[in-house]
């Protein structure tokens, strides 16, 4: 009898304990369920992370080398071949570093872009050609400027302005358009035309002949004034040899105009050039 009472007593205690757990835990469970209901649903399973495809990066680097074939100075009828090291780095859609310098795009809106530029003007040495003897050297110098552009259906319409710091102290403006189109998955073709306008200091430095220069060189004195300096037309082709290797070729024709074309320094108004390089894209 005593054993039965102890058993019944334990059963009552156990039942009371379980009842306490049930009613004590129920509010917590309901609260947890309510909290889960109020939470934002978990995003769907991201299968992309487990695919074999590499995620796209927001930077690109091309390293390569090639050569150019062009006049040994602007206006020359003699040509030379120069090696070209090529490094092109882009980060996002706002930074680009290439052989011409650095461009930082500060604004993009519905096809319109505005960028700041830092580059260089290579200058000219009188040793480059016999025609330049006695004219003196034009120093290498840095340039700062800006570019405004508008992109539409493969066309880019642009205008640039660049000021040379020291050196020739040139102020040069360019307006033009370029078109690029993928012909196949591997081949991209491009074409462009632009006009180059220069200030008095640039024209005098590169195309003028003052009295002292005339005496040393034997060329007649000549004053070159600001205006349209040249018109350039170009064509290019880029071919992807593989996922990473590419080859690019470009040919262009510059046509000297105005006071530049009439300068006694100029031997040929038509200035053709061509370049070719092979690069590896990381």
Give the per-residue SS3 of 157-195: EEEEEEEEECCCCCEEEEEEEEEEEECCCCEEEEEEEEE
Residue tagged 């040994």 (tokens) = 72
- Please enumerate in sequence order all residues whose Cβ is within 8 A of that of 220, keeping only pairs 6 or more positions apart, or say none: 209, 214, 264
Question: Average pLDDT of the chain?
Answer: 86
Q: What is the pLDDT of residues 208-231, one digit of tens each?
A: 999 999 999 999 999 999 999 999
Comparing 56 with 124, the larger pLDDT belongs to: 124
The architecture of the domain spanning 54-281 is Beta Barrel (2.40)
Res 42: pLDDT: 53
Please write the tens of the pLDDT for every residue from 130-184.
999 999 999 999 999 999 999 999 999 999 999 999 999 999 999 999 999 999 9
The CA-atom distances, in angstroms, between 271 and each of 2, 54, 229, 261 are 120, 45, 12, 11
Confidence of residue 57 (pLDDT cuts 50, 70, 90): confident
Give the domain ranges of the chain: 2-42, 54-281
Chain centroid offset of residue 232 CA: 20
Query: Coil, strand or helix: which one is 107?
Result: strand
pLDDT band at residue 46, thresholds of 50, 70 and 90?
Answer: low
pTM here is: 0.77
């Amino acid at each position: 009898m005593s054993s039965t009472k102890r058993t019944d007593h334990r059963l009552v205690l156990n039942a009371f304990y379980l009842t306490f757990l049930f009613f004590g835990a129920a509010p917590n469970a309901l609260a947890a369920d309510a909290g889960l209901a109020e939470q934002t649903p978990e995003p769907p399973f991201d299968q992309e992370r487990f695919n074999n495809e590499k995620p796209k990066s927001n930077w690109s680097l091309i390293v390569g080398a090639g050569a150019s074939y062009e006049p040994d100075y602007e206006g020359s009828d003699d040509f030379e071949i120069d090696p070209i090291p090529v490094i092109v780095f882009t980060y996002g859609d706002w930074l680009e570093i290439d052989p011409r310098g650095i461009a930082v795009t500060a604004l993009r809106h519905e096809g319109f872009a505005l960028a700041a530029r830092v580059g260089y003007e290579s200058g000219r040495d009188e040793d480059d050609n016999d025609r330049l003897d006695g004219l003196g050297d034009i120093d290498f110098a840095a340039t700062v400027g800006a570019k405004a552009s508008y992109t539409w259906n493969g066309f880019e319409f642009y205008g640039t302005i660049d000021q040379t710091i020291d050196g020739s102290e040139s102020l040069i403006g360019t307006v033009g358009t370029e078109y690029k189109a993928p012909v196949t998955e591997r081949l991209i073709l491009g074409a462009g035309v632009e006009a180059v306008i220069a200030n008095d200091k640039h024209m005098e430095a590169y195309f003028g002949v003052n009295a002292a220069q005339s005496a040393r060189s034997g060329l007649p004195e000549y004053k070159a004034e600001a205006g349209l300096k040249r018109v350039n037309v170009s064509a290019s082709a880029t071919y992807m040899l593989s996922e990473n290797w590419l080859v690019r070729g470009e040919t262009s024709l510059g046509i000297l105009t105005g006071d530049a074309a009439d300068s006694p320094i100029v031997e040929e108004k038509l200035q053709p050039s061509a370049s070719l390089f092979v690069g590896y894209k990381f």
